[in-house]
Amino acid sequence: MTTAPLPDATSDNWVDRHAPQKLKPWLKLGRFDRPIGTWLLLLPGWQGIVLALLESERSFGWYEVWLLVGFALGSALMRGAGCAVNDIVDRDFDAQVARTASRPIPSGQISAKQAAAFVVGISLVSLCILLTMNLLAVLLGFLSLFLVAAYPFMKRITWWPQAWLGLTFNWGALLGFAAASYGVALGYGGYLGLSAALLYAGGLFWTLGYDTIYALQDIEDDAMAGVKSSARRLGSKVREGVSIFYVLAVVLAGAAGWVAGAGPLFWAGLALYAAHFIWQVIRLQPENSALALKLFKSNREAGLILLAAIAFSQISF
């Protein structure tokens, strides 16, 4: 069976261009044809790592380099597992939505049982990566499974499933901070500070903003299928809602930097972070699905800006 690029994947993505035909449904099940989700899961983890180093006034060593690599691999794998779980639970809903009907499970390319085996396999690989980190990071990694497992059901019980996604996708900020605090406090068990909690809270509102924009693509199909979302709940006030979410994201990220003792370059970077959100809100056209997807994807750059702001904040002149 041949497969065409999915509606929200670029036509030149590497899976459709280069992957063997038999692997394409599996790679699409894990969203490896759409790396933006991996970036958005990864960046809070990287931010947490560099924030811990900033607060403890430490520089990168080989362990920290491994953390960056391990988080990249783990984010790709766990994002794939989470997407597969979501597709298993949502297979009936996805079949009713134009953008998701051609996904591997609702289109019949992969069965729910096969997808469950896929989840188990890549989760075990992720576990091997997690076990290289300190005790607190390992515990936080296990706790994240509850968030991942519960997320697919949120759109059935609340108008704010995007908030739960924020709790889930930004968990890496806590995990990264804990992993990078290895040997700094509490022996070798790691610790969490106020700055990490503030970064996590800021990331939650960042996700609320960008995933509300993303949900604009499905607002009509979601209404017909009875699926709830922040985009549907906000209605004509979606621009105002996204603006509030982004303001809170900037304020909380700034508070995290202040608590961690960030230098002048952090505040310059934070200003660019805020400017990027202003650009998104100005450009936002709720009825324009193609633009909504473009603005959503631009949040990789927003996350990279904040990462750079934290990473370079120790430079003084």
Most confident among 83-87, 182-186, 252-256 (mean pLDDT): 252-256
Place of tokens 């970064």: 199
From first CA to last CA, the distance across the chain in angstroms is 60
Question: Per-residue pLDDT for 186 more than 60?
Answer: no
Q: Which two tokens stand for residue 76?
A: 């790709």
The string over 16-43, giving b where at least 16 C-beta atoms fall within 10 Å of a residue's C-beta and e elsewhere, is beebeeeebbbbbbbbbbbbbbbbbbbb
Q: Which two tokens stand for residue 205?
A: 């509102």
Domain ranges of the chain: 20-311
Place of tokens 């979501």: 86
Write down the architecture of domain 20-311 according to CATH: Orthogonal Bundle (1.10)
Place of tokens 């699409």: 28
Q: Which two tokens stand for residue 166?
A: 């924020």
Q: In whole angstroms, what is the distance from residue 42 CA to residue 175 CA?
A: 11
Provide the whole-model pTM: 0.89
Which pLDDT score is estimated for 144? 92
Which long-range contacts does 69-72 make (Cβ < 8 Å, 24+ apart)? 70/129, 70/132, 70/133, 71/42, 71/45, 71/46, 71/172, 71/176, 72/42
**Average pLDDT over the chain, rounded to whole?**
89
What residue spans of the chain are helical by DSSP H?
14-18, 24-29, 36-56, 62-89, 91-94, 112-130, 135-157, 161-169, 171-180, 194-215, 219-225, 230-234, 238-260, 264-283, 289-297, 299-311
Tens of pLDDT, residue by residue over 88-107, are 988 877 777 777 888 889 88
Contacts of 266 (CB under 8 A, 6+ apart): 257, 309, 310, 312, 313
Which pLDDT score is estimated for 304? 98
Question: Per-residue pLDDT for 248 more than 90?
Answer: yes
- Could you tell me the pLDDT band of residue 185, with boundaries at 50, 70 and 90? very low
Q: In whole angstroms, what is the distance from residue 97 CA to residue 225 CA?
A: 8
